[in-house]
Amino acid sequence: MGVKVEIDPVQTILMKRGLNKGGRAQQFVDSESLRMCDPYIPKDTGMLIDSGTMNSQIGSGKIIWSTPYARRWYYKPAHFQDAPQRGNYWFDRMLREGGRKKLVDGVAALVGGRSSL
């Protein structure tokens, strides 16, 4: 009795699951990261929040908030009395406050996997 096993190439498997570079999984992480960061980003006119959408290419794996003051607001200690969730280190805080699990669970569901978080 003989057994023959045929396995698709790794790139084909990754593409089928949406795990290729710029694939469904990366697009999900990028767009959800922008969405979930929104309530954490300091807001005056909303330009800093909008700059994330305008300057990030969904699927690239890079989220870019680009305004003349984005870097200062990201690292500067800030607390907004009327909106206590908004302030510095918005991406890091979003991840710590449940965002990491939501992203991992979302990708797992999207690609047909399971999450251990």
What's the whole-model pTM score? Answer: 0.86
Average pLDDT of the chain, as a whole number: 93
Distance CA 94, CA 100 (A): 8
**Model confidence at 76: pLDDT above 90:** no
Q: Return d(Cα 105, Cα 99) in angstroms, integer.
A: 10
Give the pLDDT score at 6. 92
Amino acid at 115: S
What are the Cα distances from residue 23, in Å, to 6, 59, 60?
A: 24, 7, 9
